[in-house]
Amino acid sequence: MSAQRWRLVLGHYADARLGALDGTAAEWDEALGFLYQREYQRDGGRGIRQLQPGSLDASQLTAVAWLDKVRELFPRETVEIIEAHALERYRLTELLADPEVLEKLEANQALLRALLSVRSHLKPAVLATVRRIVRQVVLQLRRRFDHELRRTLAGRRNRLRESPLSVAQNFDARGTIRRNLKHYDRQRQQLVIERARFFDRNARRLPWDLFLCVDQSGSMADNVIHSAVLASVLCALPSLRVRLVLFDTSVVDLSAYVDDPTEVLMRAQLGGGTDIAKALRYCAGRIERPQRTVLILISDFCEGGPLSALLKIVQQLAADRVRLLGLSSLADGDAQFDREIAGRLTALGMPIAALTPRELADWLVKVIS
């Protein structure tokens, strides 16, 4: 690695050994220093060297000017990484206060997480832009979930019945050959396909109620986002009634908006404590057919209320033969959760797992088929 790159990695503290930067490299250093210098203030700055007196470092930049500078200096892929660090690692929420700045930010899940975490503090002037960003990210996720989930939950191919729908994934190659053998052209040695054959699919009739009970404490942002999108896909399936409940120490029933994940996320409020027992009691009070009900609890299981109350309601739901599942994560990546409480719930009849939406759909098919 060149001395200049080492100098960029180490920051201005290395000027004495590696020399100061100039030209474009100095601009890179200023832009990167504005953000990553904050690392030295983490944990109270213990054991960290203080800034040089009289320094003209990147602290002169404002957040808005810094963003413009970053976009000017670095390629798009790098900008996305820097923006994500600014919002998630260093909480540079000044970027979310200006509609013009928000328009420049890449609409992705990292930005959506940041917006949800400060939504209650956002000014009315930015809410229209926020809604547009939420809608854009939701569409990205829905395209990702929709095809696989519908395919999983729609049913397996039925090789005994023929479908009138000419869908490529249902194409019956052997049946098509058998049907058209009589049209074989011996002179040209080609099989003439007059009519293709397609498999039908067994329609799954799911006379089930599905409760998604989602912890909206601050650490669960990705799970709230994925749950909102997942619920909108599942509610479109026939004979499956979906209810969506978000909770912290309060319970918010957003079932009326289950088909509109944008509205769900605009109404979500990340943060606060966690009262899982209260949320499960709310759901239990609205279960009409226990033996035809699936209740999925999505949480880190860090219960803030009495553990005895949580164990009691889970035991009651299991005794009523409600199908229970606890998810420590509905998103990619390692999930942090209270393993002791999760183990207690598993013993009572609520298995705990970390599943992707596709894996959850596979589990759901097995449970309710």
Q: CA 221 from chain center: how many Å?
A: 7
SS3 215: strand
Show which of 86, 106, 126 is a domain's final residue. 106
Q: What's the confidence (pLDDT) of residue 240?
A: 85
Q: Are residues 188 and 231 in the same domain?
A: no
Q: Are residues 312 and 179 in the same domain?
A: no
- Compute how many other C-beta atoms are within 10 angstroms of the C-beta atom of residue 74: 16
Tokens at residue 134, please?
Answer: 């939420």
Looking at every residue in the chain, the average pLDDT score rounds to 80
What is the dihedral sign for C-alpha 95, 79, 72, 102?
negative
Burial of residue 187 (CB within 10 Å: 0-12, 13-18, 19+) is exposed
Can you tell me the distance from the alpha carbon of 210 to that of 323, in angstroms, rounded to the nearest whole number? Answer: 9
Q: Are residues 77 and 178 in the same domain?
A: no
Q: Are residues 212 and 193 in the same domain?
A: no
Strand partners, 347: none
What is the rounded average pLDDT of the residues 185-200?
Answer: 72
Show which of 177, 200, 223 is a domain's final residue. 200
Q: What's the confidence (pLDDT) of residue 203?
A: 47
Question: Among the ranges 204-218, 230-244, 258-272, 288-302, which has the highest mean pLDDT value?
Answer: 288-302
Can you tell me the distance from the alpha carbon of 280 to that of 351, in angstroms, rounded to the nearest whole number? Answer: 15
Q: Are residues 323 and 214 in the same domain?
A: yes
Q: Are residues 21 and 81 in the same domain?
A: yes
Q: Is residue 29 part of a domain?
A: yes
Q: Is residue 276 part of a domain?
A: yes
Q: Is residue 234 part of a domain?
A: yes
Residues 330, 226: contact at Cβ < 8 Å?
yes
Can you tell me the distance from the alpha carbon of 132 to that of 48, in angstroms, rounded to the nearest whole number? Answer: 41
Can you tell me the distance from the alpha carbon of 321 to that of 343, in angstroms, rounded to the nearest whole number? Answer: 19
Tokens at residue 304, please?
Answer: 């803030």
Q: Are residues 331 and 218 in the same domain?
A: yes
Q: Is residue 267 part of a domain?
A: yes
Which uninterrupted H or E stretch holds 342? helix 339-347
Q: Is residue 146 part of a domain?
A: no
- Say which residue, 7 or 274, is predicted with more confidence: 274
Domain of 282 in residue numbering reads as 208-368
Q: Look at residue 30 and tell me whether its pLDDT is greater than 70.
A: yes
Q: Is residue 136 part of a domain?
A: no
Phi, psi of 164 (to 5 degrees): -80, -10
Tabulate helix, strand, coil % of the chain (nearest 5): 55, 15, 30
Closest to 104 measured CA to CA, from 143, 60, 131, 70: 70
Which uninterrupted H or E stretch holds 104? helix 99-104
Q: Is residue 326 part of a domain?
A: yes
Q: Are residues 240 and 184 in the same domain?
A: no
Tokens at residue 219, please?
Answer: 């650490």
Can you tell me the distance from the alpha carbon of 299 to that of 295, in angstroms, rounded to the nearest whole number? Answer: 13
Tokens at residue 98, please?
Answer: 């200006």
Q: Is residue 126 part of a domain?
A: no
Q: Are residues 9 and 74 in the same domain?
A: yes
Query: What confidence tens digit (pLDDT) does each residue in 125-171 have?
Result: 888 899 999 999 999 998 888 876 766 766 544 444 444 444 565 66
- Look at strands 190-191 and 323-329 and give their pairing: unpaired
**End-to-end CA separation in angstroms for the chain:** 59
Look up the CATH number of the domain holding residue 332. 3.40.50.410
- Say which residue, 76 or 366, is predicted with more confidence: 366
Residues 31, 62: contact at Cβ < 8 Å?
no
Can you tell me the distance from the alpha carbon of 348 to that of 343, in angstroms, rounded to the nearest whole number? Answer: 9
- Say which residue, 120 or 250, is predicted with more confidence: 250
Residues 339, 126: contact at Cβ < 8 Å?
no
Q: What's the confidence (pLDDT) of residue 316?
A: 98
Question: Among the ranges 101-105, 118-122, 127-131, which has the highest mean pLDDT value?
Answer: 127-131
What is the rounded average pLDDT of the residues 239-249?
Answer: 92
Percent of the chain at pLDDT above 70? Answer: 77
pLDDT grade for 293, boundaries at 50, 70 and 90: very high
Q: Are residues 263 and 190 in the same domain?
A: no
Domain count, the chain: 3
Q: Are residues 196 and 216 in the same domain?
A: no
CB proximity list for 23: less than 8 A, separation 6 or greater = none
SS3 79: helix
Strand partners, 296: 212, 325
Tokens at residue 234, please?
Answer: 């599942």
Burial of residue 164 (CB within 10 Å: 0-12, 13-18, 19+) is exposed
Q: Are residues 39 and 85 in the same domain?
A: yes
